[in-house]
Amino acid sequence: MEIMIETKNLTKHYKNKTVVSELDMKVTKGSIYGFLGSNGAGKSTTMKMLLGLIRPAQGQIQIFGKPLQGKMRLEILKNTGSLIESPSYYGHLSGRENLEIICTLKNAPKREIDEVLKLVRMENQQHKKAGQYSLGMKQRLGLAAALLGHPRLLLLDEPTNGLDPSGIQEMRELICALPKRTGMTVLVSSHLLSEIDQMATHVGIIDQGHLIFQDSLAVLHEHSQSKLHLRTTDTAAALAELQRNHIPAEEKEGTIILRDTSDRTVTCAIRHLVYAGIGILRAEEIQMSLEDIFLKLTGKKVSL
């Protein structure tokens, strides 16, 4: 699988504080890489380093297999679109005029403006001054600017920040459609777990500058250990019976919780309870939510 972004040992300090620490990131071609972390975790700093906007204290960055440094930087970034933090725009110019500036700098043909305006559904507002746009429209204009020149890689930093629910939904659909429609790779950061869950194919979780998880979304879901919740006619007796037979179990709010859900343990537990004359009212397998996984990995709550 072709690697589009690879960082090794990427570190950034601000004064005495380490904001990003020894980050090893790998983004594969055609993926939507969800870069997840709470506010201040180091997402924006990492993305700015990936664009060469700030210098890392140490470590290497390779984009499209080439080191991001010196004269190569702009050559690499020609094939990259970005939307970092708040959108960039010239308020005194119309949306179309804003795109004309980007088109000129990217040396992209002007006809692409119509293509990207259609893609972000802004054809009707293109002649309005960007300063009069809502935040959602400014974000879409930023995305349109990032899409000019058919980049192979798109870096989006919290693109749904400040959008209303319908705007979030629209932006999400747009991002999800990009790899299929254009074959581009997307790196999208967010502090919203549900957002990454709905968009990404791969996930990197950053916490206090450390990349604590990186793999496909499916693997992240595999981290979810299931538990068996049992409701019995006599909770205390049931717990004692299970412990007497060396089956690990705990009691919480009148429910017996079995952490080992292998077939052998479940069979064994139920057999012992039935033989002991304890009635089983309900048996329910509970999957760990993505939020629980995040909490387990970071020890912190995350927005949903």
Partner 1 sequence: MTGVIRQLQAERYKAKRRHSWAVVTALCLFLLLWSAFNFRNADSRELAQGYSTLFYQLPLFNTILLPLGLSVIASRLCDWEIKGNTLKLLCTLQRKGAFYDCKLLIGLGYLFVIALAETVSIAGIGILFRFTQTLEIHMLFLHFLQVFAAGTAIYLLQQTLSLLCENQLAPLGVGLAGSFIGLFSLYFPTQVSRLILWSYFCQFTPLAMDWDRASREISFYPTAFPLGLFLGFLAVIIGMYALGKFLFLRKEI
Catalog residues that contact partner 1 under the rule CB under 8 A: 48, 51-55, 74, 77, 80, 82, 84-93, 97, 100-102, 104-107, 130, 142, 145
- Report the residue count for the chain: 304
- Ramachandran class of 170: left when φ > 0, alpha when ψ lies in -120 to 50, beta otherwise: alpha
What is the smallest separation between the CB atom of 56 and partner 1, expressed in angstroms?
Answer: 12
What is the smallest separation between the CB atom of 54 and partner 1, expressed in angstroms?
Answer: 5
Pick 78 or 301: Cβ nearer partner 1: 78
What is the smallest separation between the CB atom of 77 and partner 1, expressed in angstroms?
Answer: 5
What is the smallest separation between the CB atom of 93 and partner 1, expressed in angstroms?
Answer: 6
Q: Provide the b/e sequence for 68-86 (b: ≥16 CB within 10 Å).
A: beeeebeebbeebbbbbee
What are the two backbone dihedrals, phi and then psi, of residue 5, each rounded to the nearest 5 degrees?
Answer: -130, 135
Joined together, the tokens standing for residue 297 give 């990995």
Pick 77 or 120: Cβ nearer partner 1: 77
What is the smallest separation between the CB atom of 229 and partner 1, expressed in angstroms?
Answer: 50
Pick 92 or 301: Cβ nearer partner 1: 92
Residue 19 sits at the vertex; the CA angle it makes with 87 and 52, to the nearest 5 degrees, is: 50
Pick 105 or 218: Cβ nearer partner 1: 105
Pick 96 or 202: Cβ nearer partner 1: 96
Query: Which position has the token pair 């692409």?
Result: 112
d(Cα 158, Cα 199) in Å, to the nearest integer? 13
